[in-house]
Amino acid sequence: MLQIYNTLSRSKEVFKPITPNHVNIYVCGMTVYDYCHLGHARVMIVFDMVVRWLTILGYEVNYVRNITDIDDKIIQRALENKESILALTNRFITAMHQDSDQLGLLRPTHEPRATDFIAQMQGMITSLIDQQLAYQGDDGDINFSVRSFPNYGQLSGKSIDDLNAGERVAIGGGKRDPLDFVLWKSAKPEEPGDSRWSSPWGEGRPGWHIECSAMSCDLLGKHFDIHGGGTDLQFPHHENEIAQSEGAIYGQNRKPLDPPFVNYWMHNGHIRINKEKMSKSLGNFFLIRDVLAQFDPEVIRFFMLKAHYRSPINFSDSLLEEARAGLSRLYTALAQTPGFMAKKMSGLGDPANAWVMRFTTAMNDDFNTPEAIAVLFDLASEINRIKGDERLILAQLLHHLASILNFLQRDPTVFLQSTTLAHQSPAAVGLNAELIEAQIAARIAAKAARDFTQADAIRQRLLEQGIVLEDQPGGVTIWRRA
């Protein structure tokens, strides 16, 4: 039975979908004015894992992840580049898809762009004005009146009286209260024509928060199962989403039995550099494509899911190298068991199987991937210990369970011999497969001539260059990069 930690209740709750066998999930996506960094990668990888597990459990998943293609940063970057907003955003949407595809991630069911939902945003804003939850300021902006919404602070646990203006997104001169936030920004004379739309309140563009409410409600309904995103979005973005969404639906008089905007709120932890949150504002971020130039995509996925999705994780090359070494251990167990691909498995496999039970229990405990990965390591150790048909069966099971997390999907030999490993010296990377195989052949010849000193010297020389040899039954030697 799946349990999910719900940020709203601050506890694990048994997952009960609104519609049997169907899950609607919305995840806050990227603002497309630059290339994606590893913080974006974690959101994408975490919720890719969530969607895969929900699917394995038999749910039909409707996965929506939005694209913010209009906001202040986008306008500023377009002006700096002297290009249209559409050209800028299209370029970085393409780049985002390239990064995601290279990481081996599922595409969302829907990937709405904010600019395609302006009418829905204006409709929601009109409803909020009618409910006396929003007003037009002296500067022309439409603002949400935070103090008029009784349940503000329910997601973040923040009291209105304790909030201070410094925690808010931009405070405009037309606000009645510094806690209020913008729903519709009036156009400024210096802003380009492709950054404004006509509205009942004059030309302008939507505020950031209203975008997600309008898109999620339009595509998933006014009450859906799961809303996800990074923990930094919990406040104020997701808090504001609840206020404006439930405000538009119920006004100021939501009753206790009225369904909430979202049943389960999920937030993944930050990536940290030297114990500080990785972010563009701090200048300590790493682009996905730059890390992919050094590390295999599967290593990055493995690194992200070694930690629980709610935990912050530190990033460094050495930690990615640890992830690569761990993943290599799993691949080595498969490489030493030829024929494991002969049998294809689907679903979870035999639910009574002890390995399957452990794996399932871990994943159903709020997507506990560290424990699920521990099961994979224990399974690999057992494979290395035993012989015969049982070893082959366990290798098939390891491959199948790992596939649920999108691991071990490569030919083991190809992965283990890959040169996309940042730790290698230039000499090791330059040592190609043909040269390595020639050294292995020379070693075999030396052993046949009983020149074991030469055979050991060849093994040691290769090891010093980052190449590990493993002798198999039948006189076969396989190799991998250390």
Residue-wise pLDDT tens digits, 238-290:
999 999 999 999 998 888 899 999 999 999 999 998 777 776 666 778 999 99
Residue-wise pLDDT tens digits, 155-169:
999 888 777 544 444
Of 302, 393, 404, give the one whose Cα is nearest residue 354. Answer: 393
Work out the percent of the chain whose per-residue pLDDT is above 70: 90
**Cβ-contact 294, 321 below 8 angstroms:** no
Of 71, 43, 63, 77, give the one whose Cα is nearest residue 112. Answer: 63
Locus of tokens 């190799």: 479
Question: DSSP assignment, residue 68?
Answer: B
Query: pLDDT band at residue 414, thresholds of 50, 70 and 90?
Result: confident
Residue-wise pLDDT tens digits, 263-273:
999 999 999 98
157-161, 304-308, 423-427: which has the minimum mean pLDDT?
423-427
Q: Which domains does the chain have, with CATH numbers?
A: 17-273 (3.40.50.620), 317-414 (1.20.120.640), 426-481 (no CATH)
Buried b (16+ CB within 10 A) or exposed e, 312-323: ebebeeeebbeb
One-character DSSP codes across 265-319: EEEEPPEEETTEE--TTTT---BHHHHHTTS-HHHHHHHHHHS-TTS-EE--HHH
Mean pLDDT of the chain: 90
| Candidate ranges 90-99, 147-156, 469-478; pick with highest mean pLDDT | 90-99
Query: pLDDT band at residue 453, thresholds of 50, 70 and 90?
Result: confident
State the Cα–Cα distance between residues 456 and 459, nearest whole angstrom: 5
Work out the percent of the chain whose per-residue pLDDT is above 90: 72
Phi, psi of 408 (to 5 degrees): 55, 40
Per-residue confidence (pLDDT) for residue 423, from 0 to 100: 47
Of 68, 77, 75, 82, give the one whose Cα is nearest residue 194. Answer: 75
Question: DSSP assignment, residue 367?
Answer: S
Q: Which helix (H) or strand (E) holds 262?
A: strand 262-268
Of 13, 10, 9, 106, give the one whose Cα is nearest residue 365. Answer: 13
Where in 66-192 does DSSP place strands (E)? 134-136, 142-144, 181-186
What tokens does 464 get? 């010093």
Of 104, 91, 33, 40, give the one whose Cα is nearest residue 286. Answer: 40
Task: Report, as an integer, the average pLDDT of 286-304.
Answer: 95
Q: 200 pLDDT exceeds 80? A: yes
Strand-pair category, 313-314 with 262-268: unpaired
What tokens does 425 get? 């010296």
291-305, 419-433, 458-472: which has the minimum mean pLDDT?
419-433
Of 477, 478, 461, give the one whose Cα is nearest residue 427. Answer: 461
